[in-house]
């Protein structure tokens, strides 16, 4: 199972720091010598090499030039940009409202052919009814978003769903059983959502698995994540949105998805759990 998502960012920053440190060592420079060539104090070099300070693009250019490695500037800057783009706090993504956050992933969803989704908090957005989505997004808006564009955000997600279920995409969905019973909306809306989930689970393009509560599980629940083909993973954290593009980390999440899928029930057994959750609503 992959490490904590936040640790992925930390390790990526450390890897960038090691890369810069290796450039200095390959150039035969001490930290003091590199600092002098760059025109800053040695403490800044130390903080960059220990990943305590993220280097700016200007810092990277100066560092590479000081190491006579100007040809490495584009690659190192690209790596730094990848690190910084990994994590986005929700308040940054949602500063203009929730609709923009929904629309920002449209191109990624369009080009993805195989989606693998694990849900441990709420049902996946791609199979949510408009009523369920409205309840979820209203809760988010009340908690952390000043702009109230929930209706527009619901419409944007609904439009994306029509695109997704056009026949060009396949879906592997894994949902923890307790999510089926988690009340995020009124009972009538929730029941309608669960009936919709049963219907979606019968589509040829969808593989729906429910991980039963209390099952013998070698892996504890993790935070919701989406795997887009083999190209990218999105992890929804409490504090923000983590975007993973490193192949080895993507492989970790694919393996975790496979392990979780072995714990899930499918077909008629999955439908039985969903129906039981509907019956429990009264």
> Up-side HSE of residue 38: CA atoms within 13 Å toward CB?
27
18/43 same-domain check = yes
158/247 same-domain check = yes
135/267 same-domain check = yes
CA-based angle 203:207:210, to the nearest 5? Answer: 120
User: CB 68: neighbour CB atoms within 10 A?
Assistant: 14
* Boundary of a domain, candidates 62, 86, 110: 86
Q: Please say whether the beta carbons of 150 and 249 come within 8 A.
A: no
51/73 same-domain check = yes
Supply the pLDDT for residue 215: 84
63/108 same-domain check = no
- pLDDT tens for 72-121 read 999 898 878 777 766 665 566 677 888 888 888 889 999 999 999 999 99
- pLDDT tens for 184-194 read 999 999 999 99
227/206 same-domain check = yes
57/179 same-domain check = no
Q: Please say whether the beta carbons of 146 and 171 come within 8 A.
A: no
* Boundary of a domain, candidates 24, 51, 86: 86
Tally of structural domains, the chain: 2
Low pLDDT (below 50) residues in the chain: 1-5
pTM summary value: 0.73
Q: Which residues contact 253 (CB under 8 A, 6 or more apart)?
A: 2, 225, 227, 233, 244
* Boundary of a domain, candidates 69, 86, 103: 86
CATH number at residue 207: 3.30.870.10
Give the separation between CA 83 and CA 78, rounded to whole angstroms. 9
HEC string of 109-155 equals HHHCCEEEEEECCCCCHHHCCHHHHHHHHHHHHHHHCCCCCHHHHHH
Give the separation between CA 235 and CA 253, rounded to whole angstroms. 10
Supply the pLDDT for residue 100: 85
Q: Which domain holds residue 22?
A: 5-86
Give the separation between CA 6 and CA 258, rounded to whole angstroms. 22
Supply the pLDDT for residue 101: 80
CATH number at residue 55: 1.10.260.40
Give the separation between CA 35 and CA 140, rounded to whole angstroms. 46
115/217 same-domain check = yes
């Amino acid at each position: 199972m992959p490490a904590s998502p936040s640790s992925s960012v930390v390790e990526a920053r450390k890897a960038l720091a090691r890369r810069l440190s290796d450039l200095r060592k390959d150039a035969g420079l001490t930290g003091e010598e590199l600092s002098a060539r760059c025109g800053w104090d040695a403490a800044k070099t130390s903080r960059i090499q220990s990943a305590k300070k993220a280097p700016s693009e200007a810092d990277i250019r100066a560092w590479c030039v000081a190491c006579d490695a100007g040809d490495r500037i584009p690659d190192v800057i690209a790596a730094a940009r990848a690190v910084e783009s990994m994590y986005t706090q929700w308040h940054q993504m949602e500063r203009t409202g929730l609709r923009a956050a929904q629309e920002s992933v449209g191109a990624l969803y369009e080009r993805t052919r195989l989606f693998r989704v694990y849900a441990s908090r709420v049902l996946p957005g791609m199979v949510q009814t408009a009523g369920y989505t409205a309840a979820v997004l209203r809760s988010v808006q009340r908690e952390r978003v000043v702009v109230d564009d929930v209706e527009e955000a619901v419409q944007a997600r609904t439009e994306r769903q029509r695109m997704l279920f056009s026949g060009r995409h396949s879906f592997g969905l894994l949902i923890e059983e307790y999510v089926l019973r988690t009340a995020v909306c009124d009972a009538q809306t929730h029941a309608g959502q669960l009936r919709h989930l049963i219907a979606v689970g019968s589509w040829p393009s969808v593989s729906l698995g429910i991980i039963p509560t209390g099952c013998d599980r070698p892996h504890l629940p993790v935070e919701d994540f989406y795997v887009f083909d083999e190209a990218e993973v999105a992890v929804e954290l409490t504090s923000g949105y983590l975007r993973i593009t490193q192949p080895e980390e993507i492989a970790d999440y694919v393996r975790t998805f496979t392990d979780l899928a072995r714990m899930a029930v499918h077909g008629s057994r999955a439908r039985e759990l969903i129906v039981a959750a509907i019956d429990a609503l009264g």
